[in-house]
Structure 1
Amino acid sequence: MKTILIPTDFSKNAWNTISFAMQFLKAERCKFYFLHTYTPAFYRMDYVLGGPEFSAIPDKGVDASLSGLEKTLEAVREQFGNPKHIYETISAFNVLTDEIEEMVQEKGIDLIIMGTQGASGAKEIFLGTNTVHVIRKATIPIMVIPAGCKYKPVEKILFTADYWSKYHRNELYTAIEIAKTNNAKITVLHIKEEYDLTKEQEENKAFLSLCLAQVDYEFQEERGSFMPDAIIEYLEKHPYELLVMMNRKHSFFERMLVRQNVDQIGFHVQIPFLVIPDTSKSVK
């Protein structure tokens, strides 16, 4: 059984993410954790010492969190009730990134699914602050659902690759499982910015081919001087249901996150994207 973590702030976008997840995983046995984190508007000594349960003063944040999770669970069961799915709600007095890190370890989370914007997210900003922080600290794959994105069966997956580092089967496991479950084809896209592939890149590409041997895949190469723009242009010409990116040093995705204002680079992907964390340092 897969364990899926879905953070929620009870916003419209958060519900859209939940709706997507329920449909995306409707055929698989899963346990879903719906997580809401909160902190008080101001810190009190009783909170610092022991959290809200030790405070003699009622905290509206606790009530709002529990009530919101209860309503979310009711809506999920009413609209997407599935005998293959188990649900659990978690209300936590904590910072979102810290709570997620703890849950990944304690609950054995396989995948995090979250939206791009929260209740206060500006429409012109592609990635909200929480999403960026979670992606940067994550040690497991994260599927990010753009605001307003509706579920579509996954038939074609675009995987961006620069071949500068060796790929490992355990890193690609989630992407491969999605392809196998949905009988989807993976297109490995390399943006050729200047020179031909080096010997090292050719070797990494060959090993990637071995990693993808269990699924239908193809290699594509496009020329472009700026990788983010080239990928966006490719997606505009060729429709895909899922984009997969590695969050590695000097990767396209890392370059995108370095920008303070993500919207300035025009990165407005309208399809879900899976971010795979860099585990190469721990893989032999």
Structure 2
Amino acid sequence: MKKVLVPTDFSACATNAVEFALQSAKKIPMDITLLHAFELTGSVYTDYMGVNKEFNQLQLDEIRKQMHALAAVIEKDHGLVVKTKVITEALPKAILQATEAEKFDLIMMGTVGAGQSRNRFLSTKTGAEIGKTDTPVFVIPMDYKWQEPSTILFATNHFEEDPAILDPIFELAGLFPAKVQVAIFTDEENDTPYTFLDHTLTLPHYEEKLKKRYPESSISTIQLYGKDFSETLQRHIDEHDVDILVMVTYHKSLWDRFFHPSMTKQMSYHTKIPLLALPSQQAEWRQ
């Protein structure tokens, strides 16, 4: 989390993500870059005639002024120096261009969150970024107010052992510090009784293995089961005061994306708390 990219379109949704990044930076040293994606308007004909060129330039100049002004306000109010970047591309291309050029450790984006179905298209922009980049994406719901996390929940449906995934979770927990709970989910409708039994028997050994690997962390495990992943997970979060949810995204084929939609992406539309989506290099359809 040394270099963090925070896209903003100056909306309340994006502004809350910026605020979350700033408050986090007061606890964890990090370099923050604010990104605005400006998509040029016009067509081949109007561009040739020069109709949109001046209009686009005026808009671009105004956006750059807004970004510089925002950085100045942040320095004055928070005592933090942030960088600004304006890229003349649609948001997905702008994020990809920025992360490829500067190797950011984290992308922090706002989402409308649960209970805002009428504005779901706003969340879609954030959800669409999950799984498209090798950079972790931190999803911040618009109504969530920053607080120092004390409980981090890692939700998965199998026993993850990849250090590239586990290490960032426990490193994040150690920075605050926060306890880590690992939840293994069993689907009541699609999983077999054997799967449930296997999860039940394997869970204590998995917890022991995690405690040996990360002896300085407070670790617990739990098996969650239900018919709907999002509802089951959100109920557990509400009942146990979870502060941050962590999930993993896997590379999937077009066929798998159609028949097995990403649980992580689905959760980004419903979550009431920050969701950290970690990318995996493994091919899995589960999440």
Superposition TM-score, scaled by structure 2 size: 0.79
Aligned counterpart, 2:21? 21
User: What does the per-residue CA deviation read over 1:46-100, in whole Å, with 9 as the maximum and x for residues that have no partner?
Assistant: 969xxx9xx8534233123212212221221122113xxx421111101211221
Aligned counterpart, 1:240? 242
Instruction: Give the RMSD, CA atoms, in angstroms.
Output: 3.3
Residue 106 of structure 1 aligns with an amino acid whose one-letter code is A
Q: Contact 1:141–1:174 at 8 Å: present in 2 too?
A: no
Question: How big is the shift at 1:177?
Answer: 1.8
Aligned counterpart, 1:177? 171
Q: Percent identity?
A: 22
Aligned counterpart, 1:167? 161
Q: Contact 1:145–1:272 at 8 Å: present in 2 too?
A: yes
Q: Residues 51-66 of structure 1 correspond to what in structure 2 (within 5 A)?
A: 57-59=54-56, 60-66=58-64
* Number of residue pairs matched by the alignment: 264
User: What does the per-residue CA deviation read over 1:230-256, in whole Å, with 9 as the maximum and x for residues that have no partner?
Assistant: 111111211111111111358998136
Q: Contact 1:40–1:61 at 8 Å: present in 2 too?
A: no
Unmatched tracts of structure 2, length 5 or more: 188-192
Aligned counterpart, 2:190? none
Structure holding more helix per residue = 2
Aligned counterpart, 1:42? 42
Q: Contact 2:230–2:266 at 8 Å: present in 1 too?
A: no
Aligned counterpart, 1:221? 223
Q: Indicate whether 1:92 and 2:87 are aligned.
A: yes
Measured at CA, do residues 127 and 278 of structure 1 come closer, stay the same or move farther in structure 2, by a change above 3 Å?
farther
How far apart, in 1, do the equivalents of 2:121 and 2:240 lie? 21
Q: Indicate whether 1:136 and 2:131 are aligned.
A: yes
Residue 67 of structure 1 aligns with an amino acid whose one-letter code is K
Measured at CA, do residues 198 and 146 of structure 1 come closer, stay the same or move farther in structure 2, by a change above 3 Å?
closer
Instruction: Indicate the SS of the match to 1:136.
Output: coil
Q: Contact 1:155–1:185 at 8 Å: present in 2 too?
A: yes
Superposition TM-score, scaled by structure 1 size: 0.80
Instruction: Indicate the SS of the match to 2:98.
Output: helix
Unmatched tracts of structure 1, length 5 or more: none
